[in-house]
Chains A and B, each alone.
Chain A
Amino acid sequence: NAGVTQTPKFRVLKTGQSMTLLCAQDMNHEYMYWYRQDPGMGLRLIHYSVGEGTTAKGEVPDGYNVSRLKKQNFLLGLESAAPSQTSVYFCASTNYRNTEAFFGQGTRLTVV
């Protein structure tokens, strides 16, 4: 029962570097989400997808891009990392509107 898997679990980047976070789910869920969690700020939605080939902006999309080329994968990209993007990133998936949301274990990203 893999559920939602995030890769990598930890990463340190230098300012200006780029990276991609991978989220994979094996539950055939339609909806996938990327959140960031910061102390005192709670969980904030970055981008989301309602199906393969679709993406849309959430609450805090600036500095991030996403792609959903396959239904099971949702990629979050940072083109030019900034210290303000130091955070814990969570991926989640759910099916339609009334079902349970499942979260990955998170990626702890530090930008120095």
Chain B
Amino acid sequence: KQEVTQIPAALSVPEGENLVLNCSFTDSAIYNLQWFRQDPGKGLTSLLLIQSSQREQTSGRLNASLDKSSGRSTLYIAASQPGDSATYLCAVSLISGGYNKLIFGAGTRLAVHP
């Protein structure tokens, strides 16, 4: 059974720091991995999608890497800002029971203080 774990569960950093969020999964037979951002009381916003054949994706100050063989992904946020404060979720996509199944981690709650 695929399980997705995110470490740490919560993180508080001063503005300007570079930080790394971790995501691990138990089954390497995935189609892709997606990082989402969720603001309090809001929906999920897709940040980055990494296909299983890719090693990393970049968007602005965000960089996500994927190591399928070790079952790990990291989300790197450069020069963090208070506006980055949110919960970050990773999800792996795989075929299970005949459908494209997204399995989520519990998230990392990030607080960036001025």
Contacts and interface: CB of A to CB of B under 8 A. Distances in A.
A105 B43 contact: yes
Contacts, number: 58
Q: Which of A33, A50, A96, A98 has the most CB of B within 10 A?
A: A98
A34 interface: no
Contacts of B51: 98
A108 to B, nearest CB: 8
Query: Size range of the interface on B?
Result: 20 to 34
Nearest to B97: A56
B80 to A, nearest CB: 24
Interface stretch (A41-49, A61-69, A78-86): A41-49
Given A48-B99, A50-B99, A56-B99, A101 B104 contact: no
B99 A103 contact: no
Interface of A: 31, 33, 40, 42-43, 45, 48, 50, 56, 90, 92, 94, 96-106, 108
Given A42-B104, A42-B107, A106-B41, 10 more contacts: A31-B99, A31-B100, A45-B102, A56-B99, A90-B43, A94-B100, A96-B100, A97-B100, A101-B46, A102-B46
26 contacts: A40-B106, A42-B104, A43-B89, A43-B102, A45-B101, A50-B99, A50-B100, A92-B44, A94-B100, A96-B100, A97-B31, A97-B93, A97-B100, A98-B32, A98-B52, A99-B49, A100-B46, A100-B49, A101-B91, A101-B93, A101-B102, A103-B43, A103-B44, A103-B46, A106-B43, A108-B41
